[in-house]
Amino acid sequence: MSLRSIFQRRPLDLQVRVATPSDRPALQRLFYHGRRMHLLLEWWDWEEWLGWPTFLLALEGERPVAALLAVPEAGATAWIRAAATILSRDDKPVWSALLQRCQDALPPLGIARLAYLGDAPWLVPALRQQGFQWVNRVITLAWTGREPPSIPTASGTAIRIRPATRRDIPAVVGVDQAAFPPLWWYSETVLRRALLQAHHFLVAERGQKVVGYQFSTLRERHGHIVRLAIHPTHQRQGIGRRLLLEALHMLARAGATEVTVNTQEDNDASRRLYDRLAFHPLGHRVSVWMWQSGGMS
C-alpha cells in the first residue's frame, strides 16, 4: 500500500503534537537517520527546545514520521532550524500539518514571522501552500589568499578594535538591530553564546561607544565570518574593512586556508567590501522563505 493511499484513506491517522522529553529517542532517529533532513541549528541544541510550542512531532497512527523545530529569535521572528522525516515520498500533507500547527502557535508567543533558509524540494511545496513567499537569496563567498592585506594604521580619529566582553553584549544588540532588518536580528542569547563559542568576537569602539562588531568560527582549516555589522551612522568609514582584516589575520594565524562568508545576494555594499578583499563567489545560493502573520505586503 502506498503512503499516498494511506493519507487519502485515513487522514485522521495523522496527528501533530508538541515534542516532549519522552520523544527523545524518536527524534534522534529522525534527526540523525531520517530520509530527508534539514538541520541548521547553529548556536542551538534541539534538545533544549523539547516542550516548546513550536517543536512539533507528527505521528501516523502511533508511529513518529516527521518533526519540525522553529526557534524564536529577536525581531518577532522564528526560524525553521530542524525538519526531518522517515518518509521518502508523499509527505506534503505531513509538512503542511506541521507548518500549520507551528503557524498557529506563533502569534500567542508574540512572533509574527516564520522563516526558512533552504531549497529542499520536499519542503518548499508545503511552504508555498502555507503562504510562505520567497524574499531573498543568500550567497557564499570565499577568501583563499596566502596572506591577508595589512591592517591600516590607526589615525587621529582612531577606531579601537578589541575582544568583546559580556558587558558589551547590550551595545552589540543595539548595533545589530540598527544595522539589519528584523528578519536577521540576533537575539541576546545567541550573541552571548557566540561570545563563548566563537573563535573570536571583536568589537569596534569609537571613543567609549561600540559602533561595530564581528565574530567568526574556525573548524580545522576552514574559517567562517559569521557576522559583521556596523552601526549605520558609522558606515562607509572603513570600520567594516578594519574588522574584516582583523578577522582574516586572526583566522590565518590560526591555520585557516579558506575563509567563507554568507551575505544576501542584493546586499551591494557588503559584496563590494568582500570583493575588494579578494573574496570570490563559490556558486552556492540558498533561498530565504518567509511567512508573516496576517499576510505579507
Any idea of the CA torsion for 191, 195, 200, 206, to the nearest 10 degrees?
Answer: 70
Asked if residue 155 and residue 58 are part of one domain, the reply reads: no
Q: SS3 of 270, please?
A: helix
What domain count does the chain have?
Answer: 2
Confidence at residue 147, expressed as pLDDT on a 0 to 100 scale: 85
Contacts of 162 (CB under 8 A, 6+ apart): 202, 203, 205
Q: Is residue 295 part of a domain?
A: no
Asked if residue 146 and residue 116 are part of one domain, the reply reads: no
pTM of the complete model: 0.91
Asked if residue 116 and residue 7 are part of one domain, the reply reads: yes
CATH label of the domain that carries residue 283: 3.40.630.30
Q: Is residue 122 part of a domain?
A: yes
* Size of the chain, expressed as the number of residues it contains: 297
Confidence at residue 154, expressed as pLDDT on a 0 to 100 scale: 56
Confidence at residue 153, expressed as pLDDT on a 0 to 100 scale: 67
Confidence at residue 1, expressed as pLDDT on a 0 to 100 scale: 43
CB atoms within 10 A of CB 196: 9
Q: Is residue 105 part of a domain?
A: yes
Asked if residue 159 and residue 278 are part of one domain, the reply reads: yes
Which of 96, 104, 59 shows the shortest CA–CA distance to 78? 104
Confidence at residue 296, expressed as pLDDT on a 0 to 100 scale: 65
The overall longest dimension of the chain from CA atoms, in Å, is 76
Strands 113-117, 77-85: parallel, antiparallel or unpaired by DSSP?
parallel
Residue 91 near residue 66, CB atoms below 8 Å: yes
The domain boundary, picked from 131, 163, 184, lies at: 131
* 230 vs 233: CA distance, rounded Å: 8
Residue 230 near residue 240, CB atoms below 8 Å: yes
Judged by phi (left if over 0) then psi (alpha if -120 to 50, else beta), residue 69 lies in beta
> Please, what are the averages of pLDDT over each run of 10 residues along the chain (297 residues)?
46 85 98 96 96 98 96 97 91 95 97 98 96 98 89 71 98 98 96 98 96 98 98 95 96 96 94 95 95 80
Q: Which domain, by its residues, includes 212?
A: 140-287
The domain boundary, picked from 131, 162, 183, lies at: 131
Helices within 11-115 (DSSP H only):
24-33, 92-105
Helices within 185-294 (DSSP H only):
188-197, 239-253, 268-276
Asked if residue 272 and residue 190 are part of one domain, the reply reads: yes
* 3-class SS string, 146-202: CCCCCCCCCCCCCCEEEECCHHHHHHHHHHHHHHCCHHHCCCHHHHHHHHHHCCEEE
Q: Is residue 8 part of a domain?
A: yes
Asked if residue 158 and residue 62 are part of one domain, the reply reads: no
Locate 1 and state its grid cell.
500500500
Q: Is residue 166 part of a domain?
A: yes
Confidence at residue 157, expressed as pLDDT on a 0 to 100 scale: 60
* 32 vs 29: CA distance, rounded Å: 5
Confidence at residue 88, expressed as pLDDT on a 0 to 100 scale: 81
Contacts of 205 (CB under 8 A, 6+ apart): 159, 160, 161, 162, 211
